[in-house]
Structure 1
Amino acid sequence: AAVLALLLVIASRFTPRRIATAEVLLLVGLGTAALWSSRMVIWWAPVAAYYLALHGAAIWGKKLKGLTEPDEERALRYGGKWTIVTVGVIWICFAITPIGSQILHGKQVDFAKSVSSVTPIGAVNYLKEKQIKGQIFNSMELGDYLLWDGPKEIAVFANSHVHLLPHEVWDHYLRVVNLSSDAEELLGRYGVNTVVLDLPRRNNLMRRLENDGEWRVGYKDGSSVVLLRNKPLQ
C-alpha cells in the first residue's frame, strides 16, 4: 500500500490528465479509512491502482510524442525540480515515522506511544506473566490484539472477523456481553476461567461477575480488565 501511494503521488505530479475532485475525494476518503482500519485497504487499493493506471497511461502517451518542443523542455526542467521537492517531502515524512526513526537513527520507539490508548498492553502482559492458558472470554474489540500479541496457549473467543464465527458462538457472545441471565452458565459451558474486557464499555459485565462471587479482578487499568475464576474449572 505504501509503494502504491508513493507511485500515485509521483504519477499525480507528472500526469497531463486533469485530476478530478471525485478522484481526490475517493483516494483521500478511503485512504483515511484505511489508516483508521487496515481492513479498509482492500477498498482503497483497487481505486488507487485504477487511477495509477490512468495517470501512467497518460504519462506514457505524452512521452511517446517526444519532448523536443521548447515549452516541453522547459516543463521538463521544472518537472525535475518538483521531483526533487517531492522526494524530499516523502523522505521527511518517512523519517518521522516509527520505522523511519529506527532505521535511520537506531532509535527504539516506545510501543505504547505507537498504538491506540485503548490497546490492552497491560492486560496482555499480565496474561503472559501469569501464563494463562486455555479458552478465555474476551471483548470482540480486543480479540485481534490478543491474537497478535497474547499468549500462544490461549484460545480467543471472538475478534473483529465475526463473520467467521459460528452463529451459535456469536449468539452466545452477545448474550454474555449484554448481561443475559445465563451469562455465567455460558462461560462455564465453554470452560472459561479468564475474562478479558475493555473498559469502561464493559463495566457492567465486570461488576456483575465480581458480585457473582465466582470471579476476582486479577488486573485492571483504565482501558481493560482481566477477571479470574476463583475456582478454575478443570
Structure 2
Amino acid sequence: MNRFSIQRLWVFVVLACCFGYVVALPLDPYDYWLYLKNGSVAHATKNIVDHDLYAFTAAGRGFINLQWLTEAAYDWAYRTGGIELSAFLHAVVMTLAFALLLAIVQRMSGNLRIAAGVTFLCFILSATNLALRPQGISVIFFAATLFLLSARRYWPIPLIVALWVNCHGAFVLGLAMVGIEWIGSLSGLQWISGASTSPGAQVQGSSRPHHKALFATLALSVVASLLNPAGVGIYKMVAGIEANSRANLLTEWDPPSILEPTGFLFFVALLLLLVLHDRGRLKWSNAQLLTFLFFTLMALRQQRSVIWWGMGMAPLFALEFSNLCGSEKPPPRGPARLWIVNWAFAGIVFCYLVSSTPWLKTNNPLVPGIKQRLVSPDTPVQLAGSLRDLPGPRRIFNNLGWGGYLAWKLDEQKRIFCHSLVFVFPSTVMGDYLLISNGHAMWEELLARYKVDALILSKVDQRLLIPLVMKSPHWRITYEDELGVVFEARRPMNAP
C-alpha cells in the first residue's frame, strides 16, 4: 500500500477545507445573477452587453464590460447544469488556486507542514471573498501567475493576462507582480524566483538573463492586456471603478476594520508576519519589501484587497516560517496500520465532500441547515415573484443589493432603480437612492420625479423608509415576508 504520511494528510485536509467551504456557499443576490443575466443576453443576441438593460435610471448608458468572458462562462455553466454546476465548478477553481499556492509555499520552504499551514492561513483570510462572482476567476489567474514566477516559467504569463483582462479588472495585479519581480531583478536579488528550499536563500549572479526575460514578459503582458474590446480604454475604466464605488458607498471598498471579521483577521495576520520577521532577523530583498508594501497598502485602503494580500504574502510567510523552523525531517516509518488510518480518515473526508456538492447537499443531514440551500436566505425569491406578478410595465425602486437578482428574475417590462454596477449610474441617481432609502423628507417627491410605481424594500437596509411608506395614502402593500415588503402605487406617480 502506498504510504500516506501525516504531512500529506494535512495537505489533503487543507485543500478539502477549501473545497468544502466554497462548494457549500449559497449563492448570494449581489453579483452572480447580474453577470449571469448579461451572459444570457449575450448568448441570445450574439453581442457583448455594453450598455445597461435593466435600470430605468441608466437605460442605454454605455460601459466597458470588463468581465464579458466570465459572463459567457456563467451562462454556459447555467445552461449546461444549472446553478448546481456553476457552484461546483467555482469550488473546483478556488481549490485549484489554493493548490497552486500550496505548491509555491512548499517549493520555497521545503516543508509540507509549513505549506499546509500557510495555505490554510491564506484561505482563512480569503474566506469572506470566495463567493461566486467574477473576482473568483482572478484568484486562479493570480495564483497561476505567482506559480509561474516562482518556477521561472515566464512565457505563459502574457497568455494568462490576455484571458484575465477579459474576465475581471484585477488583471492589473498580474502586471504588478511581474513588474515587482523585474524591479527586484535589477538589484540581483529576486523574490519568488530567487527562493529555494534553504531558509532565506536568495539567488544572485544570474540576474541579467532573468532581468531580460522578466522585462520581455512584462512588455508582452502589457501588450496582451490590450487584447480586449476596449483596448487601452480598459485602464481608464479600471481606474474609474474604484473612485465611483467609493463615492457610492459600497462597503467592500472601505478600509478594513478590526471590528469586522475580514479586517480583524487581516490585522492579526499582518502582526504575525511582522513578529516573525522581527524574531527571525531574515533580511528581505528589495522586491520582497516592495511586494510587502504594495499589497499591504492595497489591503489597508480597501477590505476587498485582503484576499490579494494573503496570497501575495504567502511566499514571505513561507520564508519566515522556514527560517524559524528549518527544513522538514523525513517522517519516521511507523506501523502500517497508521498509514491505513490516514487513508481511512481521508476517505471519510472525501465522502463528506461528495455529499456536500450542490446536487446532494440539500438532503444531507450532516450539512448545516443554512449551507443546504442553493440560494442564500437573504435572496428575495418570493418578493421578486410578487413583483413579477404585478400587471403591466413597472418602474421599481429597489434595494441596491437585490438589483442583480431582480435583473435576472424580472422581465424587460419591469425596470429597476439600481444594481451593483454602480459606475453605470450618474452620481445624482445614487445620491437620490440614499436619500429615499433613509426616509428623507423628500422621499415621496423624489419617487414621483422618477415616476416610480412599485417598491421592493429591505427590512434591514431600508427600515427607516418602510414605516413612512406604510403611512402614506399613495401606496399599498402587495406582499410582505421576513426579508422585505413590496408596495404598489395606488395611482400612477407623475413628476411634479
Same fold by TM-score greater than 0.5: yes
Give 1:161-180 correspondences, 5 Å limit: 161-180=421-440
What corresponds to 1:105 in structure 2?
none
- Determine helix, strand or coil for the equivalent of 2:465: helix
| Number of equivalences | 212
Kept after mapping to 2: 8 A contact 1:217/1:227: yes
Cα shift readout 1:17-68 (whole Å, capped 9, x = no counterpart): 44555554334422x12334635526633443245446877xxxxxxxxxxx
Residue 93 of structure 2: aligned partner = 4
Distance 2:380 2:417 in 1: 16
Contact 2:379 2:405 in 1 (8 A): yes
1:44 to 134, 139, 145: 139
CA distance in 2, matches of 1:128, 1:164: 24
The answer to whether the aligner puts 1:152 opposite 2:412 as a matched pair is yes
Shift of 1:94: 3.9
User: Partners in 2 of 1:85 and 1:35 — Cα distance?
Assistant: 26
Cα distance in 2, alignment partners of residues 47 and 27 from structure 1: 14
- Residue in 2 aligned with 1:25? 121
Match of 2:492 in 1: 232
Report if aligned partners of 1:133, 1:151 keep a CA contact under 8 Å in 2.
no
Shift of 1:175: 1.1
Deviation at 1:181, TM superposition (A): 1.7
Aligned to 2:479: 219
Are 1:182 and 2:272 counterparts?
no
Which is further off, 206-215 or 42-51?
A: 42-51
Match of 2:394 in 1: 134
Structure 1: segments with no counterpart, 5+ residues: 58-70, 75-81, 103-111
CA contact (8 A) 2:452 2:493 kept: yes
* Cα offset, 1:153, TM superposition: 2.0
Deviations 1:105-145 (A, max 9, x none): xxxxxxx9322222111111111222452321011121111
Distance in 2, matches of 1:143 and 1:210, equals 22
- In terms of fraction of residues, the more strand-rich structure is 1
Residues 1:159 and 1:84: Cα distance change in structure 2 (over 3 Å): farther
CA distance in 2, matches of 1:190, 1:46: 42
The one-letter code matched in structure 2 to 1:157 is: F
Find the partner of 2:129 among 20, 31, 34: 34
Which SS does the other structure have where 2:464 is aligned?
helix
Look up the match of 1:195: 455
The letter of the residue matching 2:125 is G
CA distance in 2, matches of 1:10, 1:141: 33
Task: Give 1:118's aligned residue.
Answer: 378
Give the distance between the partners of 2:479 and 2:403, measured in 1 at CA: 17
1:169-199 residue CA offsets vs partner (Å, 9 max, x unmatched) = 1111111112222111111111100010111
Return the structure number with greater relative CO, CA threshold 8 A, min gap 6.
2
Please give the TM-score of this superposition, normalised by the length of structure 2.
Answer: 0.36
Residues 113, 27 of structure 1: CA spacing in aligned structure 2 closer, same or farther, 3 A cutoff?
closer
Q: How many angstroms apart in 2 are the aligned matches of 1:98 and 1:131?
A: 35
Q: Do the aligned partners of residues 89 and 9 (structure 1) sit closer, same or farther apart at CA in structure 2, a change above 3 Å counting?
A: farther
Kindly provide the amino acid, as one letter, of the partner of residue 116 in structure 1. S
Which ranges of structure 2 fall in alignment gaps of 5 or more residues? 1-89, 153-329, 334-341, 363-371
Relative to the length of structure 1, the TM-score reads 0.70
> Amino acid of the residue matched to residue 44 of structure 1?
V
For the 8 Å contact 1:138–1:197, the answer to whether it is kept is yes
Identity %: 25
Alignment RMSD: 4.2
